[in-house]
A = this chain, B = another copy of it.
Amino acid sequence: MYEIMLSLDGEGTKSLYEQIYEYLKDEIRRGKIPCGEKLPSTRMLAEQLDVSRSTAQMAYEQLLSEGYIESVPYKGYFVCEMDELYHLDSAPAMSEENEITETNQYRYDFTPNGIDLEHFPYATWRKLSREVLQDDQKELFHLGDPKGEYALRKAISIYLYQARGVNAQPSQIIIGAGNDYLQMLLSRMLGTEHRIAMETPGYRHAYDIFQRLGYECCTVSMDRYGMDVDELQESGADIAYVMPSHQYPMGIVMPVRRRQELLQWAARKEGRYIIEDDYDSEFRYVGKPIPSLQGSDVCQKVIYIGTFSKSITPSLRISYLVLPAGLLERYEQVGRSFSCTVSRTDQKMLQLFMERGYFERHLNKMRALYKNKHDTLLAELRQMKGIKKIFGERSGVHLLVQMADQRTEQELIACAGQVGIRVYPLSEYCLDDREYETTIILGYAAMKEEEIHTAAGLLIRSWGEGTAADAERTQLRPDDKQCCVDWSGQ
C-alpha cells in the first residue's frame, strides 16, 4: 500500500483537506501512485496525518468527484486508470496583456457617427434605474419575453405611429441588442438564400454584416430620389435595404413616387421584401419628419428597423424590428427560441423614459441642439471659398461637401489633418467600384457649437489656403485612416 509523505500546514490559507487532496492528486497525476493502487482507508489516513476522519473523508470525496480515485464497496479506495494526463500544473501564462486604446491625435473630429453626450439625461436615467432596481420589482430579474417586454413594445408602437407613421401592433415588434443582432435574427427568419440590394454610397456596416451572415449582396446606385428601381429590378435581388427618410450618407429623402415604385417592385413577386432602416429620422430641422415607408405599405412587404442609438445613445444597445405578417409567422417558428438580448431592467427603464414623456422632451431638446450645430456649421461653410456644393443638410447629424478644385479626398483629409481636424471621405461608403465625385463628410453631433465654429474656421483656412502639394508632403500613410498627423504647435 502506498505510503503518504505529507507534512500539513495548519497555519496556511488552504484547509487541511485541500492540502491532502492536492497532494494526492499531484501524486496520481505524476504517476507516483500507480493506477489500481489501493489507498489507505479514511481511518488510517486520518491517523497517519493526525487529522480528523472527516477531513480525510473530504479529501477522498473531492478525488472521487473529479474521478482520480474510485470507491469499491467493502474494499476501499483505488486509483483510477487513466490515460496519460495533460499537465495543468504550470501557472497560467497570464501575460500582461494591455488594453489597446486608440489615441486620438486630432483636436476636432467631425465623425458622422457621434452623438451629443453632453446632454444625455444622466439624472433621469439614474432616477429610473433607482426605481427599477428595487426588491419589489423582482419579476424583472426573471427571464422575460423573447420579443422584449410587452409594455416597452407598446410604448414603441405608440411612438412609431405618432412620430413615424409606422403601423405596428406591439406583437409585430421584436426588441434586440443592436441592429447587428437584429440582422442576425432576421437572417434566421428569412434564410440566407436571398440576394440583398444595398444603396451605394450606403451604410457599409450593414452591408458587411449581411455578407458575414452569408448573404449575397449587390449594390444599386441612386439618383437624386434614392435607389434606382429599374437597376434594382435588373439586379435580381429579392430584398432591398433602403433608408428612405434620410439616406446614409447621402442624405437623400425618397419622394413619394419612388416609394411607390419600390413598394410595387416588392409587391410584384412573392418573397420580396424591403428593409427600411430608419436610423435617425428623428432629427429633421426644416418641416415635419418624413413619414416612414412602412406606413404606406399595404402589402406587408416592409421590414422596419429602428434604433435608440442615435436618439438616446449607442451604448444602450436597444433596437427593434417591426415585422410584416408573413415574417411574424416565421418568427414564431424559428425566432422565438432566441431569448431577448436586452436586460429587462434596461427595457423597463426605457419604457418609463418613453411613457413619462422624457423621450419626447429629450428628442425635442436634441433636435434643437443639433439644429443649432447644423446651422453653425452650414453658416461657416458657406463662407468657404472654392466650395462647389454642400448637401445632405436639413436633417441627420452630418453634411456633405464637394470642393470645386481637383483635390482628392485623401488630399483634403491630409490638409485637414495638418490643422488637427479629422474629416471623413465619402469613398468609405461606396460599396462598388464606380467613380464618385470627391466628397467629404462632416458630422457635427459630438462637437460643441464653439468647437464647430473653431474647427470650421481652421478647415476653411486649411482647405482654402493649402494646396494639393502641401497635402501630399504631409500625407504619411494615405490609406491608413488612423494615420497620425502631428498638429502640435500649429
Enumerate chain B residues within 8 angstroms of A343, measured Cβ to Cβ: 177, 315-317, 343, 346
Using C-beta atoms within 8 Å of the partner chain, give the interface range for chain A.
35 or more
Contact indicator B253/A65 (Cβ below 8 Å) = yes
Q: Are B138 and A169 in contact (CB under 8 A)?
A: no
Check if A258 is an interface residue, CB within 8 A of chain B: yes
CB pair A290 B66 closer than 8 Å: yes
Contact check: which of B58, B97, B150 meets A171 at CB < 8 Å?
B97
Residues of B within 8 A of A129 (CB): 126, 129-130, 133
Bound form: Cα–Cα A253–B171 in Å = 42
Bound state CA distance, A83 and B263, in angstroms? 11
Complex Cα distance, B256 from A85, in Å, reads 9
> By the criterion CB–CB under 8 Å, are B67 and A258 in contact?
yes
A58 and B205 in contact, given A66-B256, A140-B315 (Cβ under 8 angstroms): no
User: Which of A157-201 touch B at CB < 8 Å?
Assistant: 157, 161, 165, 167, 169-171, 176-178, 180-181, 184, 188
Cross-interface CB contact of A133 among B117, B125, B143, B295, cutoff 8 Å: B125
- Nearest to A149 among chain B residues (CB) is B99
Minimal beta-carbon separation of A322 from chain B (angstroms): 12
User: Within 8 Å CB of A82, what residues of B?
Assistant: 256-257, 260
Contacts of A257 in B (CB 8 A): 67, 80-83
- Least Cβ distance of A23 to chain B in Å? 14
B255 touches A95 (CB 8 A): no
B338 touches A181 (CB 8 A): yes
Interface of A is mostly: loop
**Residues B315 and A169 in contact, CB atoms below 8 Å apart:** no
A273-305 residues with Cβ-Cβ distance < 8 A to B are 286-288, 290-291, 295-298
- A345 at interface, CB cutoff 8 A: yes
Q: Mark A79-103, 1 if CB is under 8 A from B, else 0.
A: 0111111111000111101010000
Cβ of A344 < 8 Å from any Cβ of B? yes
Q: Which residues of B are found within 8 Å of A47, using beta-carbon distances?
A: none
Q: How far is the CA of A82 from the CA of B225 in the complex (A)?
A: 13
A314 within 8 A of B: yes
Nearest residue in B to A113 (C-beta to C-beta)? B143
Question: CA of A141 to CA of B113 in the docked complex: distance in angstroms?
Answer: 13
Among the stretches A208-216, A367-375, A381-389, A466-474, the one at the interface with B is: A208-216
**Using Cβ atoms and an 8 Å threshold, which residues of chain B touch A428?**
none
Counting CB contacts under 8 A, is A144 at the interface? yes
The reply to whether the CB of A451 lies closer than 8 angstroms to some CB of chain B is: no
Q: Which chain B residues lie closer than 8 Å to A263 at the CB level?
A: 86
Assuming the A-B contacts A67-B225, A188-B213, A260-B83, are A117 and B88 also in contact, with contact meaning beta carbons closer than 8 angstroms in the complex? no
Beta-carbon contact of A338 and B188 below 8 Å: no
Assess the A180–B143 pair: CB atoms within 8 A: no
Query: What chain B residues lie within 8 Å of A85 (beta carbons)?
Result: 256, 260, 296
Task: State whether the Cβ of A68 lies closer than 8 Å to any Cβ in chain B.
Answer: yes
Per-residue CB contact flags for chain A residues 108-139 toward chain B (1 = under 8 Å, else 0) read: 00000101011010100110011001110010
With known contacts A66-B256, A141-B313, A126–B117 Cβ distance under 8 A? no
In the complex, the answer to whether B180 meets A338 with C-beta atoms within 8 Å is yes
Contacts A82-B257, A85-B256, A144-B315 supplied; 16 other A-B pairs, CB < 8 Å: A21-B287, A66-B256, A67-B258, A85-B260, A87-B298, A122-B134, A140-B315, A141-B315, A143-B315, A176-B341, A177-B341, A177-B342, A212-B334, A315-B345, A317-B339, A317-B343
Closest 9 CB pairs of A and B: A67-B255, A177-B341, A82-B257, A99-B150, A62-B287, A67-B256, A143-B314, A141-B313, A315-B344
Q: Identify 22 residue pairs between A and B in the complex whose beta-carbon atoms are under 8 Å apart, listed by A's number.
A: A21-B287, A21-B288, A65-B253, A67-B253, A67-B259, A92-B167, A99-B150, A122-B133, A126-B129, A126-B130, A126-B133, A126-B134, A129-B133, A141-B313, A143-B315, A176-B341, A177-B177, A188-B212, A209-B337, A315-B344, A315-B345, A317-B341
